[in-house]
Amino acid sequence: MVRKAHIYRKIRKRQFLLHEGEICKYSCFVTKGCLRSYRISDDGNEHILRFAVENWWVNDNESYRTGQPSKSNIDALEDSEVILISKDNLDLLMKEIPNLQQLIEKLQARSYDASQQRIYLNISSTALQKYDHFIKTYPTLIGRLPLRTIAAYLGVSRETLSRIRN
């Protein structure tokens, strides 16, 4: 049942899983690699909302739940392997496997808590505190991502990030 409910896919570096304006039809579980969810502001700046590394989920939850066009982009920062599951198949699995509903609720609660923590850090922390939190949250990404990508996630300039790293 579970094997029929998902799609396995390899995604090349820089390949998009979701473009702004599309409807997010799948929730994505990363088995290998790194993806990012981000938005482009009116002035053309990239704002990374989150990364998804091995054993993490990513989607545009609002679009996935409501069927409305996405406000975000999701693409691969590295060659990646993912498992995709549609909302209909996930709903069916939750009916068939009662404990899955509890697991999904726990994962959603953890995701909400992490989002709240990220908002708080962004409005109340220094660049150094944001960087320290990034290292604790994504310890494997320091050597895998360019500084400009980490800086975009932290909301600081590349120069500021270089200075605090020293």
What residue has token string 């899955």? 100
Q: What does the pLDDT read at residue 71?
A: 95
Instruction: Name every residue whose Cβ is closer than 8 Å to that of residue 5 and which is 6 or more positions away in sequence.
Output: 85, 89, 90, 92, 93
pLDDT at 60 over 90: yes
CB 27 within 8 A of CB 91: no
For the chain, what percent of residues have pLDDT higher than 90? 66
- Residue 149, pLDDT score: 94
Task: Give the model confidence (pLDDT) of 66-107 as tens digits.
Answer: 999 999 999 999 999 999 999 899 888 888 888 888 888 888
Which letter, b or e, does each residue of 122-138 get, where b requires 16 or more Cβ atoms within 10 Å of its Cβ? eeeeebeebbeebeeeb
Q: pLDDT tens across 21-42, in order?
A: 999 999 999 999 999 999 999 9
Span 50-58, average pLDDT: 90
Q: What is the dihedral of CA 132, 137, 138, 140, to 10 degrees?
A: 90
Taking residues 120-149, report their average pLDDT. Answer: 92
> pLDDT-derived band of residue 3, with 50, 70 and 90 as boundaries?
low
Say what the alpha-carbon torsion angle 159, 160, 161, 162 is, to the nearest 10 degrees. 50
